[in-house]
Each structure stands twice: as C-alpha cells, then as structure tokens.
Chains A and B, each alone.
Chain A
C-alpha cells in the first residue's frame, strides 16, 4: 500500500493563495500580495518536487480518495487524485514553470493598479490546472478544464477597460465552449457505455475491445469528440482563432497559460485517453491530420506577423500541432516530451518578449524595434537560447523532442513520409520566422521612438526616467535564466529513450499487453524495421532536420539582416498571397461571415424582433390587456347596492341547485 501523500494539497494551496489575495489583497500592500502569491505557488512546487523525490518508492498508479462528490445510482464521481508518470511530468511542468512565471510577474506587473487581482487570478489558474492534471476521473478533469478556461478568460481580459482585451477574452471563452461541447458529448457516451468516468474503470472497460480497424464505431466517435474538445483548448484547426487574440492579456499570462500550460491540456487529455485512441485508428488519423495541418498552417502565418507576441502565438499553435502529430501516430510519450520542452522554451520566449516589450516602453511592433542586443544584453542572451532551441539546433531541448516526433511520424505505421515531410517543412518555416523575429528585434539599428517616460501606453506598467531602452529588473531576469538553462538541458532526459521509458508504464501497461495478446504478439504501434536499419534512417532524418534549421537561420539572416530590401520585394512579387498571409488567410473574416454574422443577424432579426417581441412579449402584453378588458366589462356587476348582490347570490344558488338536480347529483 502507498502512504497517504495528501496530494490534494497541491491544487488547494494555490486556491488558498487566490482566496487570500482575492478577498484581502485590495487592502494589503504589494509586498504582502507578492508574499502570499509566491508562498502558495512555491509551496505547490515544493510539494511536487517532494512527490517526485519519493516517486520511485510509490506503487503506481497512486490513488488518493479525498471526498465524495457525486453519487447517483450506479454512477459515481469523487474528488480523488490519480498520479502516474504522466501526471507527475505535468505536475512538475505546471508548478515549476508556473512558479517561475509568478516570480517574473512580480517585476512585470509591479506598477499595475490591480496587482492583487492579477495574482489572485494567476493562483486560481494554478488551482484549476493542477485539478485537471491530478483528477482521477473525466468529470473532475472537466472541472479543471473549464476552470482554466475561466482563468484564461479573466486574465486575457485583465485590462478590461480596453475594448480589444475584453472582446478577446470573450472570443477565447466562446470558441472554447464549442470544443467543450464535443468533450461533453464524449463524456456522455462514456457514461452511457461504460457507466463510469473513472479512468481506471473506463480503461478497463475498453481494454478488452479490439481496435475498430474496419469502419468507425463507438471508440472512434468518442475519440473524435475528445479531439474536438482538445482542438478548442489547445488551439488547433478549426478552433485556433482565439489564441492569437489572447495575446491581449499581460505577457506573463501569455507565457503561462497560452504557451506553457493551459493550451497543452488538450495534449494531456488525448494522451490520458490513449487507450481509446489506440483502438480507434480513424480517430488517430483525425488527430494526425489536424496536428499536421495546424503545425504547417500556423507556421506560415507566423512568417508575416509584425507583432512580436503574435509571432509567438502562431508559433505556439504550430508547436501544439507537432504535439498532436505525435499523439496522432500513437507516440504519446513523444508528444508529452515536446510538451515539456515547449513549456520551457516557449515560456522563455514569451517572458523574453515581455522583457523586450518592457524595455521599449510597451511597443509590440517588431518594425519599431531593432538593435536591442546592446541595450538589453541579458534578455538578448536568453532569447537567443530560446530561439536556437525552438529552431531545433542540437543539442538544445527542442532538437530532441521535435526530432523524436518527426521520427515517430516517419516510422510509425500510423504515420507516413508525407506527414514527415510537412513536419520538416514546418520546422524550416519555424526556424525562419523565429530568426526573423530575432534579427528584427535585436539586430540592426533601433527604429523605435524614444521610450515614453509616462508609462507604457494603455498597459500601465511602470514609468521610466525616459530615454533609451533599458534592461528589466532582476526579479524578471532570474526566471529567464532558469528557463534558459532548462531549455538547454531539458532535452537531455530524452537521450537513449529515457523519457520514453519513464512514461512507458502509462502508455503500454497494462492495456497494451491486452491487445498484444489478442493479436498474437504483434504490437501495432511498433515499427517493423530492424533496430540497426531504423537507427541509420533516424540519423539521416535527424540530419535533414538540423539542415533545415540552419537553412531557416540562413534565409532569415539573408532577408532580415544582410539584404533588408529583399522581403519587401518578395512580398511585392507574390502580391496577393502575401496579403493573404498577413491577414492570416482571412480566417477570422471567413468565420465572421459564415458563423458570427448569421448568428448575430438571426438573433437580431428572428429571435429578438420576431420571436421575442412579436410572440413572447406580445403574448404577455395581450394577456394583460385581455384581463383588463374583461374586468372592465364585469366590474359593473359591483354596483355597491346590497340588494343587487343578494339577487346575484340567489340567482347563483338557484343555478347551482338547478345544475345539481339536472346532473342528478346525490341520487
């Protein structure tokens, strides 16, 4: 038996921090708010580390019952913790990166008038995210899932007096709702067919089922519906449109929620449901296609963005696409590996971008930056590490994880060289747009105006003495340094398949053995090639990905450093296509015409003006008018004359008696 680790404390600690700051923060000092926020998020991280230290002595998966929640007939869902290798990785990433970003936010948000509100929301986010990760059933996971959506909404719209921020928050919430609809239907199907939402019971119910190779059945439906949910939360085609707009939130929020943790919840959920997906090849194919398309599509949009945070937003969508590619070929551990390294380097990129924005006084347009490397050398250094990492230069973190994914896509029987090729092209584009960002921001001459001494436009950061771009305070630089180190060494855990082997118990036992036995020992998810042959092949493919990373670097160097006149010429040459890319392929406009406008028009014309005003309101008004008219007629009966009342009583009694006699009552 396992000792009781009281893991429920891990999510509840940040909740306590959120409550204290939310209720009392307004009256307390900034130092007090900082202390509470860092103490509780730090305590959660410390506890996660403590769990990790004791991990090898635990009997996995570790279960912990906390409290009854729903007991209805045969169905039950409890507050209970489920910890295995997958949850542990997520736990460490969420608490670790979360804690670093809390520290960074102290510097970034210091002069915001709603300082306490920010940290209250941030802690609340941690609570829901940890609930999502530690839940032992889909329903509790869904609570966390919705909760992080709420926290995301609150933080995107943090500067709610700005109209664009308020509507970006709403957009994120509504688009996520579409995905959640799919998720919910998947949960209903699970309840209907397996009578439970507990991971253990559901997966035990599914594991005897054979893969739905021919046609599509229940598991395929559940898998695709779960993927719809993941598309919303993890910003995949066709529901990715909210993420670029979500950049309206403060930059630490973009780093924590919209890069490192929340958007990866979909990947986690799909990986957690691997038992379902492994038995539904069609659903896996859907995941693979969505992931591949999203990775490629978002990367191309990233090329032409000029807002530094928008570039990173599309980059995030693209990288999430990679993770789904991995899931789509059944290589869930590769997806989780990339999830982890992505949390490091994308968190770093966003925090670095925040530092850059901070340095130039709130400006986000890269065309107004340039030459910043001499002004903010430390930020430049860490951003460079992150940029080289995401581009896939060895031996940095993303080199290992991205390569693992590309190799799995190439070699798995669910994948093919077509998807690999798209993945490699995407890697090239990634390298190109990231170095474009790098060159535009840090090289050349400073193109911006002198920093506005009266603060950062509408963002309300600290005000400056004025003059030149300046380095950020130490409290922001330390998290950058730590994440930079993690971005460098984070990939090393993947050497020799160690990460893969660590997660293997989650993704293989005991359910995998069941199919293996059922199919006569031929594991469906392993490549058929011999070890030596596949080893060579893997090496060649790795060389290709490193080559495209260099190619991207060189092209960006050529276009954005050496010959800065070229991009405009190329843009002019391809004309319409360039316009389309700049406008993100007009997807937002398309959605506006196809979905939003009919909805708004339909609501206005039909639901409001016809149904509401002409039917519902009219019914109520007519009922009132009718009652008044009838009353107006019958009020004349009430004359005030006692004898007329007596007459009515007598007549009424006579009528009742006559009726009773006529009906024969009492006979």
Chain B
C-alpha cells in the first residue's frame, strides 16, 4: 500500500462538483442534447462517490452499483436519443421551451 493516498473528501468534493455542474446545466440550458449530457454528468458524479466509498470501506457493493448505473445509463441514452430524434422530426427544433404541449 502506498503510505500517502488521496483522502476520501477530495473524491466527494469532485463528485459533488460534477453533480452540481450537471444540475446547473440541466436547469439553464435550452438545447435538449446539452440537457441530456448534463444528466450523464450527474450520473457520473454519483458514480464517482460510489467507487470512492467502495474503496474507502473496502466494500464491493458500491462498485456493483456503479455497473448497474452504467447499464441503466446506457439503456437510457439509447431510449433518450431515440426520443430526441423523434421530437426533432416532428417539431424541427431541439429547444425544450418550444416543446411544451404536455400540460393542462
């Protein structure tokens, strides 16, 4: 084992920063693809904290979770991109403010 290693809090701060970037991007961006990428950013922020904890506590469950998240994210990406293509074909725009028919 290396005597000096990166402390857990560093990882968590980076993870929180990534997640916050994702949230902010999600809230302020209008392009649906950017929003989609922000979601991936949030997921990876969370993944980072999972593996950080897994390494810290020497517990494999966190790493297993990360694999699950990656699989779900991949499936979600496929479905999400398909939806985006469908939306673009019908609405001819990627601006979410113009895709607002679903309301009362």
Contacts and interface: CB of A to CB of B under 8 A. Distances in A.
A635 B104 contact: yes
Contacts of B99: 642
Question: Chain A contact residues (Cβ within 8 angstroms of B): what range?
Answer: 10 to 19
Interface residues of B, number: 14
A68 interface: no
B95 to A, nearest CB: 10
Contacts of A635: 104
A161 B102 CA distance: 60
A80 to B, nearest CB: 68
A635 B35 CA distance: 25
Contacts, number: 30
Contact of B100 (A640, A646, A647, A650): A640
B102 A640 contact: yes
A640 B103 contact: yes
B23 to A, nearest CB: 6
B97 A638 contact: no
B50 interface: no
B70 interface: no
Interface string B21-56: 001001110100001000000000000000000000
A639 B27 contact: no
Of B27, B28, B35, most buried by chain A (CB within 10 Å of CB) is B27
Contacts of A647: 27
A638 B103 contact: yes
Nearest to B32: A642
Interface in A395-414: none
B26 A639 contact: no
Interface string B77-104: 0000000000000000000110111111
A638 B100 CA distance: 10
Nearest to A646: B26
Contacts of B104: 635, 638
A640 B27 contact: no
Interface in A635-653: 635, 638-643, 646-647, 650
A646 B28 CA distance: 10
Contacts of A638: 103-104
A643 B103 CA distance: 13
Contacts of B96: 641-643
A643 B97 CA distance: 8
Interface string A399-442: 00000000000000000000000000000000000000000000
B101 A640 contact: yes
A269 to B, nearest CB: 69
8 contacts: A635-B104, A638-B104, A639-B103, A643-B27, A643-B96, A646-B26, A646-B35, A650-B27
Interface of B: 23, 26-28, 30, 35, 96-97, 99-104
- What 6 pairs across the A-B complex have the smallest Cβ distances? A640-B103, A640-B100, A642-B96, A635-B104, A640-B102, A641-B100
